[in-house]
Amino acid sequence: MQLSRRQLFKVSAGGLAATSSMATLGLFPTAALAEVRQYKLTRAKEVRNTCTYCSVGCGLLMYSLGDGAKNAKAEIMHIEGDPDHPVSRGSLCPKGAGLLDFIHSPNRLKYPEVREPGTNAWKRISWHEAIERIARHIKADRDANFVAKNANGVPVNRWLSTSMLTASASSNETGILTQKFMRALGIIATDAQARVCHGPTVAALAATFGRGAMTNSWVDIKNADFILVMGGNPAEAHPVGFKWAIEAKKKGARIIVVDPRFNRTAAVADEFMPIRAGSDIVFLGGVINWLIANDKIQWDYVKAFTNATFIVNEGFSFSEGLFSGYDEAKGRYDRSSWSYELDDKGLAKTDPTLSHPRCVWNLMKNHYARYTPDVVSDLTGTPKDGFLRVCAHLGETAVPTKVGTVLYALGWTQHTVGAQNIRTMAMIQLMLGNIGMPGGGVNALRGHSNIQGLSDLGLLSTSLPGYLTLPNEQAHPDFASYLAKNTPKALQPGQLNYWSNTPKFMVSLLKWFWGKNATAENNWGYDWLPKWDKMYDILQLMEMMYQGQMNGFIVQGFNPLTSLPDFNKTSAAFARLKYMVIIDPMTTETSSFWQNHGEANNVDPAKIQTEVFRLPSTCFAEEDGSIVNSCRWLQWHWKGAEPPGEAKPDQEILGELFVALRKLYQDEGGPGAETILNLSWPYRDPAAPSPEELAKEMNGRALSDITDPTGKVLFKKGEQLPGFAALRDDGSTMSACWIFSGCWTEAGNQMGRRDNTDVGLGNTPGWSWSWPANRRILYNRASSDAQGKPWDPKRVLISWTGDKWAGIDVPDFKADAAPDTGMNPFIMNPEGVGRLFAADKLVDGPFPEHYEPMESPLGTNPLHPKVVTSPAVRLFASDKERLGKHDEFPYVGTTYRLTEHFQFWTKNVRLNAIAQPEQFVEIGETLAAEKGIKAGDTVKVSSKRGFIKAKAVVTKRVKALKVNGKTVHQIGIPLHWGWETVAKKGYLSNALPPAVGDCNTQTPEYKAFLVNLEKA
């Protein structure tokens, strides 16, 4: 039998389990011998998996020995890059290359343990005891604090005194089960790593384009003519994905990096521009002003596909740093004036001539007229000529045949104006006609391997899967009001307005939650879902814990003590809990917050009464499942070995816990018992739902025969649905996550597909499966002009063929809607166009405006000195007291990752610990000389909230900047240290930043805060 490697993969993905021993099957293809070094070890198994760290989602080949013969336990003994993976093509970065050491880390957890109140040691317990004791804690706390109805008698079914954090690298299947588990218990005090990272991305991109995700794909970066890297450092944080930027460069693209630090991306770029951390909107607002002033606009695109022509309500204004509607007492905006003027049919009025003074274009032009090149240089510290060169390069892409892209990550998100940083760039890309285009887009580089998937699954306080909102007690007291408020009407004639399908998505979701208990008579069990009163994000949760308002905390695959800002506050908050449950493959500082580690964690265990359970879970290599990379590909991975000791998959841990709780409520009853007892839990083994069962539920299936209007049966009862277009609002379908519908159809598991054929422009639609509907580039209708003709003959993605849209990607559009129907490309927006003016979508303004970081090195905002920082920021009194001033803390601290490490995980990995063994900070030469600090000295960096000690790296990479007439020094602070480590023990860098977040999403401001520096 002769098979090419690609054909073999198709066979194995479709039928033969990937864990099958290729040797024993006798299927070694001749082509493979030339492509991959073969492991000729008898009984070695080759298994395909995905890197667990960042969202590039590199493919892995894992080799294990031990196939059960003579009771041998399978153990991974080698990992290498998968040469067939279309993004990674066999590459792994230093993190991926050390994955074997992650799996075999001495810090893997093996047995359930408990640390009892006031004690100073872990005690091993059985799984049975652990589950029983945790279930008792949960029931006692829930029974005492469950709120069935609010003061107005609205069913709210929420439980606020125990909170839960969810993982960033667990599979979608674990994620969806966690969603079900939490909501049945009434948990809304929940958050995820997404909040710490890319929350502002979702807010900004959804507000502009309709969806909150990376628009293009890793490989597509190679199609760009110009690449701006700003607010990110992909050569370091996403090394393998960044190779596609280098591919573009090889073909002539120019790469410019704008960053506070000359980083490793800058080292391979064409140009580097320094910038003061926290001044990005000044820079980007300056770009908008320059593009308008120099007429570098793709006018046909802007007029047809953006809201430039829309007329804004008369009441809208901006003056002295404030938009209309500000309520100083509440610290919030009333956003009603940030809206379009509507005609008597409820449609938005437009002025195609762009002459109306209140059309979006003219308002935008006026707003950014203040951002002149001199102002930009003065407030950012970027040299004016450098800024102008960035403008010129971006401006060159305003023609249809040149395309630019932007790569960003947490350098933009982790600010009080995080969402608005991203919005500004999204507006620029619309003005240049770069959205929907191959080589264009706004590329949010997600950090964690499945942070995209877990956001998609709604593991956030106020979300449900598929970006549906969890009901709010005031806006949505009943199902009718929920549907009315979340089913928008089109604002222009003929728009697809895809959210008009909300009832189908929501009813199908409710059928998943409550199964046969969800009926038309009880509104599909709507009232059993918890309703929120306010958002319980991580900062809110920590504040409640700190104030003693929280008793329990369940932490799944998260290390909040290291990840949340103001570690000293977090630690004090944990000490006020009654119980904490940690589910993790590794030791974490969170689990051992009660241990004394000298200056790095100076606590007294005897005084801490929190009971802490530590439950060992499997890691990526020991489970089947799917994860979503940054460009929305759901990639299935296969188990290669058994976990160490008694570790179990998260699904089994949650399954056992749920079964134990259900039994307690069956036997004893209790408040809110019905939300637990009515939950659909139809798994073959209720204590261990399988990944396949859960993946099929995410896709959705027919619950009865589905017919067309003529009565013809389209899908039989029990069949997997082909996609979300098949969902119904009459209870005849179920789907746990409508945007994932299509991932596991009657044709099988689409996420396991392995055809890496490039159908053009690097697009590989046969590899895995991408949401939505396997589309690879979002808004791809905008790659053709209003008549359906591609803007650029070299970049043909889809075009109108006369009767349909077709091409090398799945149209992100109604496939048979002709160009003359007037339907526009941004199908998730009721206006059908991209938003230069974001109307009422963001809490801090429809146009981005520069506000200083909460801790500003200037102490003023020269644009409007009366409004220095964002007026829409949420700040708790306890955090306000902990803010520093520039006279006491004169330097700007900014945190970041290193290539060799991933967050706080790889300090448990020997190879990475060898590569970067010790904590350091980066200090510019001028500042070091001023302070008498030499390279290698130990220094103390302190903020109003705490301090760290680390080695000084004195470098030319961080230069002093002239800003508003004064010298600003910046200090670079890598993240990765702690006391649970195989590297040298270190301090938690998050002792330094303040607990204040992005106005829209509460993502903490890690990238710009004030510190002092001294020799230790």
Q: Smallest Cα–Cα separation from 207: which of 396, 335, 293?
A: 335
Q: Which is nearer to ligand SF4, 102 or 889 (CB)?
A: 102
Q: Which is nearer to ligand SF4, 90 or 325 (CB)?
A: 90
Q: Which is nearer to ligand SF4, 93 or 176 (CB)?
A: 93
Q: Which is nearer to ligand SF4, 253 or 898 (CB)?
A: 898
**The token pair that represents 70 in the structure block:** 């003579």
Q: Smallest Cα–Cα separation from 964: which of 837, 861, 872, 840?
A: 861
Least distance from ligand SF4 to the Cβ atom of residue 63, Å: 17
Q: Which is nearer to ligand SF4, 51 or 999 (CB)?
A: 51
Q: Judge if the upstream peptide bond of residue 890 is cis by omega within 30 degrees of 0.
A: no
Q: Smallest Cα–Cα separation from 461: which of 709, 195, 639, 238?
A: 195
Distance CA 725, CA 505 (A): 10
Distance CA 286, CA 389 (A): 12
Q: Smallest Cα–Cα separation from 218: which of 624, 751, 806, 768?
A: 768
Least distance from ligand SF4 to the Cβ atom of residue 89, Å: 11
Longest dimension (CA), the chain: 84
Least distance from ligand SF4 to the Cβ atom of residue 915, Å: 13
Q: Which residues contact 725 (CB under 8 A, 6 or more apart)?
A: none
Q: Which is nearer to ligand SF4, 29 or 57 (CB)?
A: 57
Whether the Cβ atoms of residue 100 and residue 904 lie closer than 8 Å to each other? no
Q: Which is nearer to ligand SF4, 243 or 569 (CB)?
A: 243
Whether the Cβ atoms of residue 261 and residue 970 lie closer than 8 Å to each other? yes
Least distance from ligand SF4 to the Cβ atom of residue 527, Å: 42
Q: Which is nearer to ligand SF4, 448 or 753 (CB)?
A: 448
Summarize as ranges the residues that interact with ligand SF4 (CB under 6 A): 51, 53-54, 56-58, 88, 92-93, 95-96, 238-240
Q: Which residues pair with 348 in a beta bridge?
A: 342
Q: Smallest Cα–Cα separation from 609: which of 111, 991, 120?
A: 120
CA 225 to chain centroid, in Å, comes to 27
Q: Which is nearer to ligand SF4, 238 or 648 (CB)?
A: 238
Burial bucket for residue 118 (CB in 10 Å: 0-12, 13-18, 19+): middle
Least distance from ligand SF4 to the Cβ atom of residue 575, Å: 34
Distance CA 76, CA 641 (A): 6
Which residue is it, tokens 């309703």? 531
Distance CA 142, CA 159 (A): 6
Whether the Cβ atoms of residue 637 and residue 50 lie closer than 8 Å to each other? yes
CA 765 to chain centroid, in Å, comes to 23
Q: Smallest Cα–Cα separation from 225: which of 396, 388, 392, 436?
A: 396
Q: Which is nearer to ligand SF4, 95 or 931 (CB)?
A: 95
3-class SS shares of the chain: helix, strand, coil, % to 5: 30, 20, 50
Least distance from ligand SF4 to the Cβ atom of residue 557, Å: 16
Least distance from ligand SF4 to the Cβ atom of residue 553, Å: 29
Q: Which is nearer to ligand SF4, 79 or 996 (CB)?
A: 79
Least distance from ligand SF4 to the Cβ atom of residue 237, Å: 8
Q: Which is nearer to ligand SF4, 445 or 808 (CB)?
A: 445
Least distance from ligand SF4 to the Cβ atom of residue 53, Å: 4
Least distance from ligand SF4 to the Cβ atom of residue 410, Å: 15
**The token pair that represents 997 in the structure block:** 């977040």
Least distance from ligand SF4 to the Cβ atom of residue 174, Å: 19
Q: Which residue is nearest to ligand SF4 (CB)?
A: 96
Least distance from ligand SF4 to the Cβ atom of residue 314, Å: 50
Q: Which residues contact 76 (CB under 8 A, 6 or more apart)?
A: 62, 63, 64, 100, 103, 104, 621, 640, 641
Q: Which is nearer to ligand SF4, 898 or 968 (CB)?
A: 898
Least distance from ligand SF4 to the Cβ atom of residue 1013, Å: 31
Distance CA 289, CA 302 (A): 16
Least distance from ligand SF4 to the Cβ atom of residue 241, Å: 6
AA identity, residue 575 = A
Burial bucket for residue 94 (CB in 10 Å: 0-12, 13-18, 19+): middle
Q: Which is nearer to ligand SF4, 241 or 477 (CB)?
A: 241
